[in-house]
Amino acid sequence: MAKTDKAKIFFQHVMPKHLISRLMGKFAAARAGWFTQTFIRWFIRQYKIDMSEAIEESPQAYKTFNDFFTRRLKPELRPLKADDDELAHPVDGAVSQLGEIKDGRIFQAKGHDYSLQELLGGSEEDAKPFMNGDFATIYLAPKDYHRIHMPCDGVLKKMVYVPGDLYSVNPLTAANVPNLFARNERVVAIFDTEVGPMSMVLVGATIVASIGTVWSGTVTPPTGGRIQSWSYPASGPAAIHLKKGEEMGHFKLGSTVVLTFAKDAIEFDDDLEPRSTTRMGQVMAKIKAETKESDD
């Protein structure tokens, strides 16, 4: 590893990650007038963001950095291309890793894997349906659209808030920080879907000011030192049904989404591999025929 990379990893270990992230969160939520506008314009230039994709193209339309960062895109630019027998990509980003969950472990990078059960908050019951299933880890870069959508129809079963560290999430930290995705603060959403059980794990990172969902608003912050969970009814007026392509959550400053599926439920698209670019609504995977038949 290069000396500069070693220095970056060392700094990740020693820096006050929560303090920096919460201070950034306060700035991102502040209406700081010309200073906010100057920072937004710098951010657009720095990360080469195509503002023509946004519903509000002018930086002046955004009163806070959070408003800008969670900007909505013109819907015609992210059409839902996945058919009834296909899953859609939930986010704009890039594939970090994908594949089989082997012996309850998820591959992170060469030389590193981590526990499925730990990722989901420590419950053996929650992890069991995904044993020997499949996973996909998708990284959202600063330039990306940061709203998260459903890859298929689903009914929310459970949400879990898991406290943790706030390491940066990128290829360098994935290759050098053990247990990264099961180590960072995260929000776990578990759904019953047309392909069986599915979890979507929204992983926090350094300067990620907030993680929210459409059914509960901001989940973190505030944060806590213990795992918290919420259960939801499967039917009735209080049940939370979300259709494929509907928004399910967001990052205010972005990170990573880890998806898990049951064994033999899906088959990832042939062209999908690490570093593949993803666009919300495009085809992520095929629903296996036996899965569809059992659901029918």
Which residues are the active-site residues?
Answer: 92, 149, 255
Token pair belonging to 215: 């059914």
Token pair belonging to 223: 């944060």
Token pair belonging to 85: 């027998």
How far, in Å, CA of 25 to CA of 211, rounded? 11
Structure-token match 């306060």, residue found? 26
90: preceding bond cis by omega (within 30 degrees):
no
b/e per residue, 107-125, with b = 16+ CB within 10 A?
Answer: bbbeebbbebbbbbbeeee
How far, in Å, CA of 225 to CA of 112, rounded? 26
How far, in Å, CA of 261 to CA of 266, rounded? 7
Neighbours of 13 (CB within 10 A): 10
Strand (E) positions, 119-209? 134-139, 147-149, 154-162, 186-193, 196-203
Nearest to 25 by CA among 254, 256, 253, 257: 253
How far, in Å, CA of 88 to CA of 150, rounded? 8
Q: SS3 of 100, please?
A: strand
221: preceding bond cis by omega (within 30 degrees):
yes
